């Protein structure tokens, strides 16, 4: 492996799935202005996710239509039959 190509500023970060509220603690170099108090009482940076393995249709087996900012309605209005 090449030396000195990986970041060295890994730290604990909480990732939160906004669609279902699932959160998990991991290590990351991602930056965030938001923070959250985790189950252990410590405060960690918070990274907000639109989708995770707890809400993704491939992993859950459920077909969920995630409409972000009206994209689905915009698609239907654009391609509906006249």
**Confidence (pLDDT) at 80:** 76
Residue 27 lies in a domain: yes
pLDDT, one tens digit per residue, over 31-71 is 999 999 999 999 999 999 888 877 766 666 666 566 666 77
**Confidence (pLDDT) at 64:** 54
Phi/psi-derived region of residue 41, left when phi > 0, alpha when psi is between -120 and 50, beta in every other case: left
Residue 6 lies in a domain: no
Residue 33 lies in a domain: yes
**Confidence (pLDDT) at 73:** 75
Residue 2 lies in a domain: no
**Confidence (pLDDT) at 44:** 96
Residue 28 lies in a domain: yes
pLDDT, one tens digit per residue, over 17-34 is 988 889 999 999 999 999
Residue 3 lies in a domain: no
**Confidence (pLDDT) at 56:** 67
Residue 1 lies in a domain: no
Give residue 38's domain range: 11-79
**How many structural domains compose the chain?**
1
């Amino acid at each position: 492996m090449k030396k000195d190509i990986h970041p060295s500023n890994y730290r604990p970060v909480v990732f939160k799935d906004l669609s279902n509220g699932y959160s998990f603690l991991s290590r990351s170099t991602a930056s965030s202005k938001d923070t959250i108090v985790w189950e252990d009482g410590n405060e960690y940076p918070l990274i907000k996710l639109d989708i995770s393995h707890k809400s993704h249709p491939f992993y859950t087996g459920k077909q969920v239509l995630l409409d972000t900012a009206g994209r689905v309605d915009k698609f239907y209005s654009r391609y509906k039959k006249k």
